Amino acid sequence: MRSARIVFWLISMLIFAPIVVLNAKAIWRRWKDKQVKSAYVRLALTIIACVIIAVFLLSLYRFTLGYQLPLVMERTIDIFTQRIEGDIDMATYRQMMLDAGLVDVGFRPIPEEDLKQAGFIKGEKYSVAISEQAYDNDGDTAVMYARHEGGGRTIYTAVRFKFYDNKWKALEHWVVSQEEVQKISGIRFIEIRS
Query: Sign of the CA dihedral 50, 52, 57, 58?
Result: positive
Degrees to nearest 5, angle at CA 180 with 168 and 177: 95
Strand 167-175 with 103-108, pairing = parallel
Q: Of 152, 162, 34, whose CA–CA distance to 102 is shortest?
A: 162
pLDDT tens over the chain, length 194 residues: 678 889 999 999 999 999 999 999 999 999 999 899 999 999 999 999 999 999 999 999 989 888 899 999 999 999 999 998 877 888 899 999 999 999 988 899 999 899 889 888 888 899 999 999 888 767 788 999 999 998 888 999 999 999 888 899 999 999 999 888 888 888 899 999 88
Task: Kindly state the DSSP code that residue 111 receives in the 8-state scheme.
Answer: P
Give the per-residue pLDDT at 152.
Answer: 87
pLDDT for 172 equals 94
The CB-side HSE value for 147 (13 A sphere, CA atoms) comes to 20
